[in-house]
């Protein structure tokens, strides 16, 4: 660890928090799905194509002969799931490769250090500005694990300006989560979920932009109020693995944004303008967006004066950093493969829809939101969560006369909020380990914000249902 994040010698090593292995968990989910094929009766709905999308005919359900899945077929489903999700998996790896090259240019590190010096005497601007940076990253490009690299930078910066370790951690984590929750153009959550629901990619962006502003402001106010209390009375703060004596090193850094860095940032911003235009005008999807990021990778590498060898090495290392998340998508898909082979997805949809078909739509959509929140505790991977639930939630929304866009919104809110408190969230637990903050300490501190955001999400999905949030 660099001097910016130098540990306090007198502080004993923080006990590594217990984490649930997500692959083991998903394998047990696949096994459970196999067992269900022996328990639940088989059945199916007729599906028809309307305006280029496949929908379920509500009154077409019929029972069929049971087709239980044997253990060997279940294991084969792991490979089949990865094949079926191949397009999304490789898209994730290409995005990871881009980040590897982007990081190798040093542009983000220099940007943060430059901002640190400029904010040294205007510390009240640190929280809203830096949280906006990470919120934009979370909302536009799914920044999550990438944010871990900036925790050792932001914590010393927060300490240098009179705040504490929790403030520095929160700027990164809660900032990115605000963006992840509202997911204006997040390819890993809304992008995947809308693809499964056969919605136009990144459609419904207007409401998500409004929600982005709301969630961002609520998160900033929450962190700002706490930070100001610590600034007035440092004894109220928590400092974890960090020592305030070393925090001023960040302010002493002499690096500056050069023409090279400015050009790279300009190319990065231009990429999103082109992306938005292509998605809206030409209905681009994964292949086109992936191609755009490959082009951007080459452009950034050239501007950053990286050799061909370095571009390739950093691209592959960036992809390697996301291989675990990419494989989670495939393993999650295996659950659906098993359920489909056993022909029990439609009976589950039929059972749920029959149970609540006479319930007002407002209550149904609230129940969908609550269900997604529970699932996210079990499966804290946003992309994996989408792959597991949206194939069921999209047709269920059809049966309950809820728009598929509303179903996607309920997923994205549940996904983002869970990332800031659930101990099954790998990014959260890794960040807490870096900062030296016990999960219990963090959970107690962040719980009020979680409740506030959950209520905002509840109101959002109810409004979405009331206005027939679409296009469908």
Rounded-to-integer distance, Cα 352 and Cα 183, Å: 28
Which segment of 233-237, 248-252, 277-281, 451-455 scores lowest on mean pLDDT? 248-252
Rounded-to-integer distance, Cα 226 and Cα 2, Å: 27
Q: What confidence tier does 120 reach under pLDDT thresholds 50, 70, 90?
A: low
Rounded-to-integer distance, Cα 235 and Cα 241, Å: 16
Mean local confidence (pLDDT), 21-47:
86
Highest-scoring range by mean pLDDT, 187-201, 326-340, 384-398, 425-439? 187-201
List of residues 6+ apart from 465 with CB closer than 8 A: 361, 362, 365, 402, 403, 406
Question: 242: helix, coil or strand?
Answer: strand
Q: Which residue has the higher pLDDT, 318 or 263?
A: 263
Strands 47-50 and 53-56: antiparallel
Q: Which pLDDT score is estimated for 7? A: 40
Q: Which pLDDT score is estimated for 10? A: 37
If one counts every other C-beta atom within 10 angstroms of the C-beta of residue 22, the result is: 22
Which segment of 29-33, 402-406, 430-434 scores lowest on mean pLDDT? 430-434
Per-residue pLDDT tens digits for 316-335? 998 887 787 678 778 877 88
Mean local confidence (pLDDT), 15-33:
72
For residue 296, pLDDT over 60 is answered with: yes
Q: Which pLDDT score is estimated for 68? A: 95
| Long-range contacts of the stretch 428-432 (C-beta < 8 A, 24+) | 428/173, 429/17, 429/19, 430/145, 430/148, 431/147, 431/148, 431/151, 431/169, 431/172, 431/173, 432/17, 432/169
Q: What confidence tier does 1 reach under pLDDT thresholds 50, 70, 90?
A: very low
- Chain centroid to CA 119: how far? 29
Q: Which residue has the higher pLDDT, 466 or 345?
A: 466
Per-residue pLDDT tens digits for 427-443? 787 678 778 888 889 98
Q: What confidence tier does 156 reach under pLDDT thresholds 50, 70, 90?
A: confident
Please provide the average confidence, as pLDDT, over all residues in the chain: 83
Mean local confidence (pLDDT), 38-49:
86
For residue 140, pLDDT over 90 is answered with: no
List of residues 6+ apart from 61 with CB closer than 8 A: 43, 44, 45, 346, 350
Phi, psi of 64 (to 5 degrees): -130, 175
Q: Which residue has the higher pLDDT, 355 or 306?
A: 306
Helices and strands (H and E) in the chain: how many: 19, 4
Rounded-to-integer distance, Cα 448 and Cα 420, Å: 12
For residue 299, pLDDT over 60 is answered with: yes
Q: What confidence tier does 174 reach under pLDDT thresholds 50, 70, 90?
A: very high
Q: Which pLDDT score is estimated for 426? A: 67
- Cβ atoms 286, 93 nearer than 8 A: no
- Cβ atoms 138, 178 nearer than 8 A: yes
Q: Which residue has the higher pLDDT, 377 or 402?
A: 402
Rounded-to-integer distance, Cα 215 and Cα 218, Å: 5
For residue 145, pLDDT over 70 is answered with: no
The pTM is what?
Answer: 0.70
Q: Which two tokens stand for residue 319?
A: 């992809």
């Amino acid at each position: 660890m660099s001097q910016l994040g130098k540990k306090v010698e007198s502080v004993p090593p923080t006990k590594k928090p217990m984490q649930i292995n997500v692959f083991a968990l998903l394998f047990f989910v696949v096994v459970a799905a196999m067992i269900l094929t022996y328990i639940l009766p088989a059945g199916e709905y007729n599906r028809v194509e309307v305006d280029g999308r496949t929908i379920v005919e509500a009154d077409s359900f019929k029972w069929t002969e049971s087709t239980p899945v044997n253990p060997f077929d279940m294991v084969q489903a792991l490979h089949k799931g990865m094949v079926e999700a191949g397009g999304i998996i490789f898209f994730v790896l290409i995005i990871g490769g881009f980040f590897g090259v982007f990081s190798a240019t040093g542009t983000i590190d220099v940007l943060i250090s430059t901002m640190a010096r400029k904010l040294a005497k205007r510390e009240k601007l640190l929280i809203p500005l830096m949280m906006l940076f990470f919120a934009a990253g979370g909302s536009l490009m799914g920044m999550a694990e990438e944010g871990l690299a900036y925790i050792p930078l932001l914590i010393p910066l927060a300490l240098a300006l009179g705040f504490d370790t929790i403030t520095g951690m929160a700027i990164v984590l809660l900032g990115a989560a605000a963006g992840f929750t509202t997911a204006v153009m997040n390819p890993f959550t809304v992008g995947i979920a809308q693809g499964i629901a056969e919605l136009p990619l990144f459609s419904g962006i207007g409401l998500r932009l409004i929600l982005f502003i709301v969630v961002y402001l609520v998160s900033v106010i929450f962190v700002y109020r706490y930070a100001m209390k610590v600034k007035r009375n440092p004894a109220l703060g928590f400092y974890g693995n960090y020592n305030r004596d070393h925090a001023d090193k960040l302010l002493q850094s002499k690096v500056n944004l050069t023409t090279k860095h400015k050009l790279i940032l300009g190319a990065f911003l231009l990429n999103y303008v082109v992306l938005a235009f292509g998605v809206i005008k030409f209905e681009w999807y994964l292949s086109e967006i992936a191609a755009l990021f490959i082009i951007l990778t080459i452009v950034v590498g050239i501007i950053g004066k990286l050799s061909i060898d370095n571009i390739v090495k950093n691209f592959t290392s960036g992809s390697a950093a996301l291989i675990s998340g990419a494989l989670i998508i495939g393993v999650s898909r295996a659950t659906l493969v098993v359920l489909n082979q056993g022909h029990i997805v439609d009976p589950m949809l039929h059972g749920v829809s029959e149970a609540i078909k006479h319930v007002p739509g407002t209550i149904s959509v609230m129940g969908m939101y609550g269900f997604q929140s529970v699932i996210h505790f079990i499966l804290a991977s946003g992309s994996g969560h989408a792959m597991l639930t949206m194939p069921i939630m999209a047709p269920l929304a059809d049966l309950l006369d809820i728009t598929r866009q509303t179903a996607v919104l309920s997923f994205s809110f549940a996904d983002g909020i869970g990332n800031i408190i659930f101990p099954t969230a790998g990014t959260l637990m890794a960040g807490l380990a870096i900062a030296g903050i016990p999960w219990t300490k963090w959970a107690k501190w962040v719980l009020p914000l979680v409740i506030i955001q959950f209520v905002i999400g509840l109101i959002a999905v109810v409004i979405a249902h009331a206005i027939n949030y679409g296009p469908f």
